[in-house]
A and B are shown apart, each in its own frame.
Chain A
Amino acid sequence: MTQQYIKPIPVVQPWTEAFWKSTKNHSLLIQKCSACESLIFYPRKRCPECWSSDLGWQEAAGRGKVYTFTIVRDMVEAKFVPDLPYVLAMVELEESVRMMTRIVECDPELVQIGMEVEVVFDDITDRHALPLFRPADESLRITATDGDQTGKASEPALFMSPDDYHTILYETGGTNGAVCRITLNRPEKRNSINRRMALELRDAFRRVREDRNVGVVVLAGAGGSFCSGGDLDVFPSLAEHQTSLNWLAHEGLDVQKAITDCEKVVIAKIDGYCLAGGLELALCCDLLYAKESARMGFTEINMGILPGWGGTARIVRSMPVFRAREIIYSGRKDYTAREMFEMGLLSRVFKDEEFEEQFEKAVALLAAKKPIALRMGKEIMAKSADGGSIDTALAVERNGIQWLTYAPDIQAMMDQFRKNVKS
């Protein structure tokens, strides 16, 4: 524990050493002036009242009342992010000195000004224990949650169901249930991607793979915007090195793979903003249909980074490379859908007033095709576009089509030909 403490350690002065030494015995000291008998907090080298340097210590009873407090929920340094939310408080001790501390072992919503509290100590190093306070009333206490110190989102349930989704919608429908609609549903945040959404997207695309009726998946955003990228609320947690890597290597890669490997034709329905991580989601899809007024781009470079959910690698395989580079390097977020189409990225752009109708037509056209043909087409084209050798791609194509032709309905038709040949 001692080695792992990454939060700031009190910067001790020679004349405050006794205070911190005492905290290791879980005793709270208050400095007392031997000359004028003032109680002093925080400890000084000279009494701030009479300037005497004849100073001693008195043990505090360790009881007090909350003078004021705040529930800190956001905008803290990375090292405090795993603690969020936490209750920061000023506590007035019975001895009439006031100190900064935290209220622990209590539901933050139950803390009140005037609440009676008692000191507990958090042994942060072998030389310091931070004096914290908990409710004096035992019925208000909850035991500290253990193990929640990594800043990670709470683990998802092993098996989610669409009823568990908070951040996306999952609906199947259309003729023969051939269309699945997965809708990013955080319109108040322009459908930005947080940890929960990443987990739900991964789950949804793995789920749809098992639905043999579905041939087409529509990936859309609720409320007039496709997706504005990663939620900035995720950002502070990325200050921790491993968490940052895993946001790309676990959540990011898992979501991409879930989309590209779902064996369905995924159609991105792009309107409003399709930026940064939102554009990266789109690049994982098979067809990109956009509303003329949509605005697109990669803004990551403006923060000194690059798209890390596949965007940098995928865009150069998705359009002419010299145009792709401009999108990555410029950091522009105002590319119009028309511009993107002309640069070679999108499948089609529809006028705003015709968008819904034309989009549904395009979906219906594909949804009428056999799901396994769509699936095999997706696989063959992906393997070829991946840039493997043409001979490999051609072999995948031959065998894939041969596999398709052995479907029972096609074979029934073939039997007719065979009979005709014989007769």
Chain B
Amino acid sequence: MSKGKGKIAIVGIGEVPTGIYPERSPWAIMYEICTQAVQDSGLDKNDIEAVVTVAPQAQARLTAEISFGKIPEELGLKGCKDVCICNAGGASTSNCIRLAEQLIASGAARAVLIPHVTVHSCIPMDELINFFAQAGMDLQWEYPFGTTYNAIIGMLTRRYMHESGATPEEMASIVVSMRKWAALDPNSIFFNKKVPSVEEILSSPMVADPLHKRECNILADGGAAMVVTSAELAPKVTQTPVYKLGEGAAFFTACPVLRDNGMMTRGFTESAAKALSEAHITKDDIDIWNIYLAYPVGHPLMMESLGLCEPGQGCKSFVDGSTWPGGKMPWSTIGDAIGRGHTGSGVSTATYVDTARQLMGKADARQVQGARFVFQNTSGGSGMNNIATVWGKELI
């Protein structure tokens, strides 16, 4: 049996810079990222046999257009046989990739295009606040008390600091690490921008104590896409296939109130263990930890759950530079949502695209030299789940 049997690979990627560009329409982005990804893959546009799109949040019109087949039609993907949209919040891209995997395994499609586009700057501010106040909150048991995403994260952060003894300075250093990657990334909203100091972060206004304004995300516009094929086909079309080697998933809760840090660390640990064992490697083989959690607090929790440090010591690597560009434990190479700009569910797409970019050796100033294996996760809702994956530039 071939070792790539049933496996898939990313063979092409495309992306536009994240930022606030109200004049850049969703469909202009869609054309740009899809064209880039298909051309990068070495395939012809008519080789794309299915389009599985990451659902754009809070954009009903765009969602309807994509759901009802506009992408293959606009782009003239004459070979397309199947189209759908997939929504699991910030984890959506993982589910899209899995759907592509099944389409490929069943023979329904040989090459699948997975795009995501979000244009927050065209959504009126009150609608945005409203959407993010209610999404992921229970309308009976949470929302009437005045919950928001930031407030939920504020509560989880306080609990984490209480349990671990982490200081505000340590929490802020996570943002510093993210922004160091972002400053080098031409696709980030903070590209070439000065990296704020711990003091500057802690002197920004308090939003949901202990969460400061500069520990929250900036909503932005962006888009990214990838082309996926079977592991057998991949090396025939590109020099730089990026193979998916393993996966593990854990579901926690929809309601934040029913979730606690212990439940999350267990889920992180178990899903990572499954992904690594399926890939037949250990955590020592991982060259990049591409973690997507959208706020600082999840990062030390993840680091502790992965067994990369002692319990309660998760912040230390962000302080001492291990996670920074050039550090010994490259971590979130797009700087997560806080460094990239929050594009709804698109940060997970951008993280996968960067996982591929790093393994293709095309990450320029952020390139982790000699990277062979990347661990990546995604998480949806207000932290409802964790999907861990392992990617490599070769099959094992």
Q: Residues of A with Cβ closer than 8 Å to B?
A: 7-13, 16, 42, 67-78, 80, 83, 86, 88-90, 98-102, 108, 113, 124, 130, 239, 303-304
Contacts and interface: CB of A to CB of B under 8 A. Distances in A.
Nearest to B133: A77
**Which among B133, B150, B208, B211 has the highest number of chain A CB atoms within 10 Å?**
B208
A12 B141 contact: no
Given A73-B209, A90-B257, A113-B159, A8 B148 contact: no
B148 A75 contact: yes
A67 B158 CA distance: 10
A68 B257 contact: no
Contacts of B208: 70-75, 88
A78 B126 contact: yes
Given A68-B156, A76-B148, A78-B126, 10 more contacts: A67-B260, A68-B159, A70-B211, A71-B209, A72-B154, A72-B209, A74-B206, A88-B151, A100-B256, A130-B144
Contacts of A239: 126
Nearest to B141: A42
Contacts of A303: 125
Contacts of B255: 42
B236 interface: no
A239 B142 CA distance: 22
B83 to A, nearest CB: 34
Contact of A68 (B145, B162, B213): B162
22 contacts: A9-B144, A10-B144, A68-B155, A68-B159, A69-B155, A70-B151, A70-B158, A71-B154, A73-B207, A73-B208, A75-B148, A75-B150, A75-B208, A75-B216, A76-B129, A77-B148, A78-B129, A88-B146, A88-B154, A89-B155, A113-B158, A239-B126
Most chain B CB within 10 A, of A8, A16, A101, A108, is at: A8
A7 to B, nearest CB: 7
Contacts of A113: 158-159, 162
Nearest to B211: A70
Contact of B146 (A67, A72, A74): A72
A285 to B, nearest CB: 31
Contacts of A70: 151, 154-155, 157-158, 208-211
B165 interface: no
B139 A10 contact: yes
B258 A68 contact: no
Given A71-B206, A76-B146, A80-B146, A8 B154 contact: no
Nearest to A99: B257
A130 B209 CA distance: 23
Contacts of A11: 139-140
Contacts of A16: 140
Interface of B: 124-126, 129-130, 133, 138-148, 150-151, 154-159, 162, 205-211, 213, 216, 255-258, 260
B212 to A, nearest CB: 10
A101 B257 CA distance: 10
Nearest to B208: A70
A8 B139 contact: yes
Contact of B145 (A42, A73, A101): A101
A102 B145 contact: yes
A391 B146 CA distance: 61
Contact of B158 (A8, A69, A75, A124): A69
Contacts of B143: 8
A78 B125 CA distance: 11
A7 B141 contact: no
Given A83-B146, A102-B146, A113-B159, A74 B207 contact: yes
Contact of A42 (B138, B148, B156): B138
Contacts of A88: 145-147, 151, 154-155, 208
Nearest to A76: B148
B179 to A, nearest CB: 20
Contacts of A74: 205-208, 213
A80 B130 CA distance: 11
A350 to B, nearest CB: 31
Identify which of B130, B144, B210, B255 gathers the most chain A CB atoms within 10 Å of its CB.
Answer: B144
Which of A80, A100, A303 is most buried by chain B, counting CB atoms within 10 A of its CB?
A100
Contacts of B147: 88, 100
B206 A98 contact: no
A130 B142 CA distance: 11
B145 A100 contact: yes
A90 B141 CA distance: 11
A106 to B, nearest CB: 14
A233 to B, nearest CB: 8
Contacts of B124: 304
Given A10-B139, A70-B209, A77 B130 contact: yes
Nearest to B129: A77
A12 B139 CA distance: 9
Contacts of B162: 68, 113
Centre residue among A86, A89, A90 by max chain B CB count within 10 A: A90
Contacts of A71: 154, 206, 208-209
A304 B213 CA distance: 25
Nearest to A78: B126
Contacts of B125: 303
A99 to B, nearest CB: 6
A207 B57 CA distance: 53
A75 B159 contact: no
A73 B138 CA distance: 21
Nearest to A114: B162
A10 B140 contact: yes
A12 B257 contact: no
Contacts of B155: 68-70, 88-90
A361 to B, nearest CB: 38
Nearest to A77: B133
Contacts of A124: 144
B141 A99 contact: yes
A7 B147 CA distance: 12
A100 B156 CA distance: 13
Nearest to A84: B146
Given A70-B211, A72-B151, A113-B159, A86 B146 contact: yes
Contact of A67 (B129, B145, B148, B159): B159
Contacts of A76: 129, 133, 146, 148, 151
Contacts of B145: 88, 100-102, 130
A75 B130 CA distance: 11
A7 B209 contact: no
Nearest to A302: B22
From A70, A76, A304, residue with most partner B Cβ within 10 Å = A70
Contacts of B138: 42, 100
A73 B140 contact: no
A210 B54 CA distance: 66
B141 A10 contact: yes
